Amino acid sequence: MAQYAPTLNPPKTLIPKLPNPNPSFSSISTFRTPKPKSKNFSTISMSVTAGQNQQQHQKPPSLDVLINSARKEEVIGAIKNSSSHCLSETNLHLTVPGLKSKTRGKVRDVYDSGDYLVMVTTDRQSAFDRILASIPFKGQVLNETSLWWFDKTQHITSNAVVLAPDENVTIAKKCSVFPVEFVVRGFVTGSTDTSLWTVYNNGVRNYCGNALPDGLAKSQKLPANILTPTTKAADHDVPVTPDEIVECGLMTQAEYDERVALEHGLILVDTKYEFGKGKDGSILLIDEVHTPDSSRYWIAHTYEERFKNGLEPENVDKEFLRLWFKDHCNPYEDEVLPDAPEELVRELSWRYIFLYETITKSEFKLPSTEEPIHDRISRNVARALSSLT
């Protein structure tokens, strides 16, 4: 994840609505967050088909839709045509007046505009603390998925979002970021060195302060969700216990206790949250929420039967790409990694779009390739920043 700049003080007054600089971009481009009504956090109750809460009559998503559908054919065609237009790198500090510096994260490029941070979500695919590939439309999916969830969770906790002037861009308040990721896990799964299944299968029975019973199987649902924080390092994340977070001065006990309330009731396989402290001392949700990068999603209605039959759950995330690299190299130690096969890149792009459409119950708007994406972002960001001055 990109590291945010130390806090400076953004204005308290939110800006007026911008006219939509891109007619093809939805009204989320004027997203803003009001103050929460209460400091008491309610619980999040969400399934992998969260967008269907008000449309129960619709058929639940299945792997069949992922594999064979008219929508997939349409999207795959666009993916093929966009493979050479991926947003792998940005240099807005060279094209947008007023941007002072660039911080390059694994996926996001973060620019300092003085009062705000301009966060550009690229198409870079990260896993094993490395960049594996560039995935068409991934940046847009992540940015728009996060904005949808920021909007849906603002009654639970405040966030740092100010507005989103472009499909790939969020402008946010500056925060002093806690160097801790809050990883919430509901199932025993994963393939990385710090995943719950990996450490459990290696005999660990107390992980980040959570006592784990013997006899758990891969993909099994835990008796209760657990919180497994990790410290944020430049090259990798390190698991820590809640006590260690406080002892090392990463957060105070009061700050940590306020965040823990968020994890109750989550039924995602696993997900992570990051937080920062604003000028007024309030704790704000930052970075991203419930995206395919920060979360693991399974198809809900087939999980029980597949688990009983010893089958892997149907997943809608990047796990299959992780597994391909683990099968073909040592992604932690090999200096040079093989190129990801084009069919896997296209499949991952489609799965990201499928997940966005399943959650939000809205059609993903495929961007035009007539204007170079970097030019479009530069134009939209420059216009947005000029309105904030």
Q: Is the pLDDT of residue 40 over 60?
A: no
Nearest one of 376, 378, 321 to 347, comparing CA atoms:
321
**What pLDDT was estimated at residue 360?**
85
Whether residue 20 contacts residue 374, with contact meaning beta carbons closer than 8 Å, is answered with: no
Whether residue 60 contacts residue 301, with contact meaning beta carbons closer than 8 Å, is answered with: yes
Q: How sure is the predictor about 263, in pLDDT bands with cuts at 50, 70 and 90?
A: very low
Alpha helix (H) residue ranges in the chain: 63-67, 70-82, 138-153, 196-201, 242-247, 253-260, 303-308, 319-328, 342-360, 373-388
**Phi and psi, residue 78, nearest 5°:** -65, -35
What does the block give as tokens for 190? Answer: 């994963």
Q: Is the pLDDT of residue 283 over 80?
A: yes
Stretch 33-53: mean pLDDT: 35
Stretch 39-63: mean pLDDT: 41
**Collapsed DSSP state (helix, strand, coil) of residue 4:** coil
Q: Is the four-CA dihedral 63, 320, 293, 165 of positive or negative sign?
A: negative
Q: Is the pLDDT of residue 6 over 70?
A: no
**What pLDDT was estimated at residue 48?**
35
Round to whole Å and give the CA distance between 152 and 273: 15
Q: How sure is the predictor about 313, in pLDDT bands with cuts at 50, 70 and 90?
A: confident
Neighbours of 132 (CB within 10 A): 23
Q: How sure is the predictor about 252, in pLDDT bands with cuts at 50, 70 and 90?
A: low
**What pLDDT was estimated at residue 16?**
31
Q: Write out pLDDT tens, residues 75-108.
A: 999 999 998 899 999 999 999 998 989 999 999 9
Query: Looking at per-residue confidence, does 360 or 41 come out higher?
Result: 360
Q: Write out pLDDT tens, residues 338-353.
A: 999 999 999 999 999 9
Whether residue 262 contacts residue 44, with contact meaning beta carbons closer than 8 Å, is answered with: yes
Q: Which residues of 196-208 are buried (b: 16+ CB within 10 A; e: fewer)?
A: bbbbbeeeeeebb
Round to whole Å and give the CA distance between 234 and 217: 33
Q: How sure is the predictor about 290, in pLDDT bands with cuts at 50, 70 and 90?
A: confident
pTM: 0.76
DSSP 8-state secondary structure symbol assigned to residue 368: P
Please name the residue that has the structure tokens 């995330």: 317
Q: Write out pLDDT tens, residues 140-199.
A: 999 999 999 899 888 878 999 999 999 999 999 999 988 888 888 989 998 888 899 999
Stretch 234-242: mean pLDDT: 56
Q: What is the mean pLDDT of the chain?
A: 78
Q: Is the pLDDT of residue 281 over 80?
A: yes
The share of the chain scoring above pLDDT 70, in percent, equals 74
Q: Is the four-CA dihedral 157, 161, 167, 169 of positive or negative sign?
A: negative
**What pLDDT was estimated at residue 155?**
80
Q: Is the pLDDT of residue 246 over 60?
A: no
Q: Write out pLDDT tens, residues 371-384.
A: 999 999 999 999 99
Q: Is the pLDDT of residue 211 over 90?
A: yes
**Collapsed DSSP state (helix, strand, coil) of residue 93:** helix
Query: Looking at per-residue confidence, does 67 or 294 come out higher?
Result: 294
Q: Is the pLDDT of residue 9 over 50?
A: no
The share of the chain scoring above pLDDT 90, in percent, equals 45
Round to whole Å and give the CA distance between 174 and 4: 8
> Which residues neighbour 354 within 8 Å (Cβ) at sequence distance 6 or greater?
61, 65, 66, 72, 316
238 beta partners: 231
What does the block give as tokens for 90? Answer: 């940005």
Round to whole Å and give the CA distance between 197 and 374: 40
Round to whole Å and give the CA distance between 54 and 76: 29
Nearest one of 314, 360, 358, 343 to 71, comparing CA atoms:
358
Q: Is the pLDDT of residue 109 over 90?
A: yes
**What pLDDT was estimated at residue 193?**
83
**What pLDDT was estimated at residue 64?**
66
**Collapsed DSSP state (helix, strand, coil) of residue 232:** strand
